[in-house]
Structures are given as structure tokens and as C-alpha cells.
Amino acid sequence: MKSYIVGNWKLNFTVGEASIYLHKLQKKIPNYRDVEVIVAPSALALQTLSLQIDRHKMKLAAQNAYHRDYGAFTGEISFSQLRGIADYCIIGHSERRYIFREDDKVIQKKVEAAVRNKITPILCVGETESERAFGETADVIRDQVIGGLAEVSEEDIDKVIIAYEPVWAISSTKSAKLAAPDEIAEVVKLIRKILKDAYGEKTAENVPILFGGSVNPSNAGAYLTVPGVNGLLVGGSSLILTEFADIIEVAKRVKS
Ligand code: PGA
């Protein structure tokens, strides 16, 4: 399986800044066949970047979209509008869940709409600090994985990526802590078991599972070698071009 390195730019960069960043990154990195590099700019920059991107080197992801294809939904953009522009879409990021109150019902509709529009969903799941402290991690992960994938058939499950992002490890969380490799391994194993029970063993092995939470060039190697982890979802460190390029380099080294 390929390794996936996703840069989630969140609400950062003007269209001009995003365009310059992409230009420089494309010049800096070679075409790595076994590392899929993906950047997720703001929705506003997607169109510009899609005209400029070298799709042999990297791909674009949206950070969010609405599940209905068209209609009276002021302020939204749809997955059908993203077709031909973005290949991936981050869905259910903890900032969407907790700031914008998206629940598993909303998220499952988005995952379904993404798959229907041939955009690969990157479904984010992860427990909060207090859920972990109360021993609820496994239940939360199970609910989010099963809830998020409820509308995905056996035939389509290999078109989905899952990102495990413990909320307490995300750098923007107050007093964020680094997740330990064995903590990640345990949850990734659980996610594979949930997938196996729902879709069968062979299929479960084909779903890429990424890790995210304060990833940077110095811990990327350790996180990429956690059993069952197929890539990284990077926030803060992806805003610094040299750091993001270094993480891609680490992924390439780990792969070979
Ligand atoms: P971080 O963000 O790398 O800044 O912790 C990751 C994310 O929120 O996806």
C-alpha cells in the first residue's frame, strides 16, 4: 500500500499564498510513486490550485463539503462541485465535530456523498482527553467508525481513508500532548478489527489508516512505523514548507 501524507492547512493562507506554497513545494519534491502527497487548502483556493497542480506529484483535498449536490443551501459547497477539482475530502475533523457540531449522522451523509461523487473521503475519528480518561476510547472510536461508514457498501469501502486523530494530541488543543506509538497502535488495531467485522478481513487490510496529531519532521518516522499506520495527517507543520517537505522525505525513506 502507498503511504499518504496529507497537509491540512485549515483556515490559513490567502489564495496567493497558497499558490506560491504549491509552486515551491512542487519544485522541491520529486515524484514519489509510493508516497501520495495531498494538500487541503481553503475551499476558496481549490480552483486556482487545481489549475496549477502537477497531479503526478500531488493531489488536492477539500477540508469539508455539504452532502447535497445542489439546491437552497446558502453558504455551502457540494461534493459534486468539487469533482474534477479535488480528489479527496477531509470529513469529520474534530474541529468540524466540536466547533461546528457535526455529528455522526451528518458525517455519514458526507462520506456517502463523497464516495458517490468519486471523491475519496478521509474520515477523521478520535477521542477527546476526557473520553480517554474515562476509558471510553474504544466506544467512541467504534461509534465514529461505524457511524461514519454506515452508508458505505462493501464494494466501496476500499475508496475510503480513515485518519485516527486523538483530539488531545492535535496541536491547537490546549495543552496538547504527543501520542505514544503504542497508544496509536492499539487504536489502529481496533479500527482494523471494526472494519474486519463489518467488511471482512481482506477488505479491512486495504483501507489506509493515517495518524494525525502534532506530527512534525522529528516524530514522523516513529509515527509512520507504528504497525498498521499508512500515513500522516499534518496540521501546523504542513504550513511550513520545509517541514512538510521533510515529512514527505521521511515517508519516502520509511517506504524504501
Ligand atoms: P496538528 O493538526 O498537526 O497541528 O496537530 C492535525 C489536524 O488537526 O489535522
Distance set, CA 92 to CA 21, 73, 89, 168, 219 (Å): 26, 19, 10, 16, 24
Cα–Cα distance between 52 and 161 in angstroms, integer? 25
Look at the chain and report how many structural domains it folds into. Answer: 1
Residue 202: per-residue pLDDT: 86
**What is the Å distance from ligand 1's center to 70 Cα?**
31
Q: Which three cell numbers stand for residue 55?
A: 497531479
Cα–Cα nearest to 220, from 175, 256, 254: 254
Residue to mutate (ligand 1; options 97, 165, 210; most atoms within 8 A of CB) = 165
Residue 69: per-residue pLDDT: 97
**Nearest atom, ligand 1, residue 213 CA:** 5
Residue 13: per-residue pLDDT: 98
Q: Tell me: pLDDT of 256 over 90.
A: no
Cβ–ligand 1 contact at 217 (below 6 Å): no
209-235 pLDDT per residue, tens: 999 999 999 999 999 999 999 999 999
Residue 52: per-residue pLDDT: 97
48, amino acid identity:
T
Name the 3-class secondary structure at 182: helix
The DSSP bridge pattern shows strands 209-212 and 120-125 to be unpaired
Which residue has the least CA distance to atom 7 on ligand 1?
235
Residue 205: CATH number of its domain: 3.20.20.70
Domain assignment of residue 11, given as a range: 3-255
Cβ–ligand 1 contact at 19 (below 6 Å): no
Residue 174: per-residue pLDDT: 79
117-163 pLDDT per residue, tens: 999 999 999 999 999 999 999 999 999 999 999 999 999 999 999 99
State the angle between helix axes of 137-148 and 181-199 in degrees (0 to 180), rounded to the nearest 10: 40
Cα–Cα nearest to 110, from 122, 100, 95: 122
Cα–Cα distance between 132 and 179 in angstroms, integer? 12
140-153 pLDDT per residue, tens: 999 999 999 999 99
Please identify every residue annotated as catalytic: 93, 165
3-57 pLDDT per residue, tens: 999 999 999 999 999 999 999 999 999 999 999 999 999 999 999 999 999 999 9
Which residue has the least CA distance to atom 3 on ligand 1?
235
**Nearest atom, ligand 1, residue 163 CA:** 9
| Vertex 68 angle, CA 62 and 70, to 5° | 95
Residue 175: per-residue pLDDT: 83
Q: Tell me: pLDDT of 177 over 90.
A: yes
**What is the Å distance from ligand 1's center to 12 Cα?**
13
181-218 pLDDT per residue, tens: 999 999 999 999 999 999 998 888 999 999 999 999 99
**What is the Å distance from ligand 1's center to 170 Cα?**
5
Cα–Cα nearest to 88, from 199, 1, 204, 7: 7
Cβ–ligand 1 contact at 170 (below 6 Å): yes
51-108 pLDDT per residue, tens: 999 999 999 999 999 999 999 999 999 999 999 999 999 999 999 999 999 999 999 9
